[in-house]
Structure 1
Amino acid sequence: MTNRLSHDLHTTIRIKHVDFSLFNKMMMDSTLVEDKNRDTLLFAGRVKVNITDWWFFKDKAQLKYIGLEDATIKLQRTDSIWNYQFLVDYFSSPPPTNPALKDTTPGLQLDLKELDLTNIHFLKRDGWRGEDMELRLKGLALDADTISFHEKIARIRTLSFSKPDFILSNYKGRRPHPPIDTAAIVNDPLHLRLNPDDWDFTAGSISIKNGSFRHEEKADTVINQYFDGDHIFFSAVNTSFTNLRLRRDTITAQLLLSTKERSGLDVKTQRPHKVVSGSHGVCAPRPANQPQPPPQLLRHAFQYPGRHVGF
């Protein structure tokens, strides 16, 4: 199978070892997929899958467990075409020219229960737009009652991120500047902006432990010692969301947050805060004796010597 794919795609696809247990468990070691430039698109040290027995004879299948260890994913482009597009083209069947021949049989409905990621490196290098994203993740553990991709419903018990380090870099890309969009933003319940696929998502607990966030504007080579919006670095990010709900274009949750910025800015909530985000933006909680403020972006204002920082 891998030899045929490598031949058809004119690249390298390799799996060192595959182990099957009956018809519901699979383990793959040292999976490698290269792009057309012979650069790594995907490498996974180990992939484990536990799925419903005899799933290929059923309309619905339960993904009881997915595990991914020591993985690197690299998405790259220098023009409008991503390095994975050849895979999309290969596995996408052309639509039938005769509508009467269109296959209306529903596809396999998947329901995910548990996801476990260890030592993950994700890199998205977009030279076309001039934006790079990089994530190094020590671990991710997901425990769900159900995540139905067919019904677009997610009921998550716990989701935890261990030592996620995220870097966002901006620079001048190769894409011509698009025309400025002057059209007014209209909140249309039939065309959601925050949640365009209309997922119904709830989570009892989501936590981030010892994470970091860095944002760099590469055109600005001078890094100021005080808070600098072009060179942001938050470390020791510890966050917990409880009773989180995404419905239509509105998010509600209880939030606890603590982090430190390289300039010395210290951010900490002393008690859980209710956060509400909707089509108009996000607003922070208000005392009971104050009137409802107009919809606005969430702003926790911090005073810092010589600098006022709004979040």
Structure 2
Amino acid sequence: MTQVPARSPAELRIEGVDLSYGDNHVLKNVSLAVEPGELFAFLGPSGCGKTTLLRLIAGFNQADRGRVLVDGADISGLPPWRRDVGLVFQSYALWPHMTVAQNVAFGLEERRLPRAEVARRTEAALALVGLGTFASRRPSQLSGGQQQRVALARTLAVEPKLLLLDEPLSNLDAQLRVQVRRELREMQQRLGLTTIFVTHDQEEANTICDRIAVMRDGIVQQVGTPVELYERPSNLFVARFLGSLNALSGPLPEGLMAPKAGLTPVFRPQDAVMGGGEGLVGLTGRVKTREFLGATIRYALAAPQGEIMVDTPFRAGARLEETGAELTIGVPPAAFRWLAD
């Protein structure tokens, strides 16, 4: 397959970054490191500062304090066009009056590269994203997924040290989103290109990223692999953002260790066993709702400790519990975590 020329993957370090818009403190002492060749996600809800941080790396935002370093060099004071960083915008930002090839070539021509080099890089970038035969089409003649690939090819053609993706899949339907995210991951691994992916979708981050920084209110809550964040969240926010969670309140069941001041006992819905059993922490409640999710059935129980979700595998012919039925479940003590807000 045609490829853009290989480069050594870059390392990114963000050190003590603060950024405010007037009285709005958007980024608060953000420090993190992205290793060479990683696909790294900034994950969090709308307004948490993840896109602001991405644009700061690209040079479209300026920090009030702190530094951004690429391969040890401080790029904080450089304008965007001198940072050697490629940003794919959420809107794709394609020129409607230009062909696919002209869109991809635009950034190269702005850099005053020789015509032959522009043509070579344009052809290589389009081949890389599987659009070599679409060079003469206009953006309006492409699907959403194809437009996203054109925006990606335009960025790859300039051979950036870092690739920044701002919610690149949000404009795609659910089925196409799964396909394109797999293609993004495969391409990123082939190129070995250090890539940062901004998303509010924990499934997207979990499925394609090496590590994730979970953000809330301008603060990095935790950094880790998807499995680390899911199994060992640092607080309730991270635990809830990385999947479904049961947080107990009220009277704690027998068998659960003594309460820890200021902490909440939590467990995941799939850790519960229907019917309970010896050595398990027992909980009893009535079925409020039942959801068929294909591979699993999810029950929501009304219990003295609050609403409790239970996920059980679905098998053909299995008996389903009805709304209002009283159920007892058991949870292994080791499945519980005690977390702060």
TM-score past 0.5 threshold: no
Tell me: higher relative CO, structure 1 or 2? Use CA pairs within 8 A at least 6 residues apart: 2
TM-score by length of 1: 0.22
Structure with a larger share of its residues in helix: 2
Q: Return the index of the structure with the highest Cα Rg.
A: 2
Structure with a larger share of its residues in strand: 1
TM-score by length of 2: 0.21
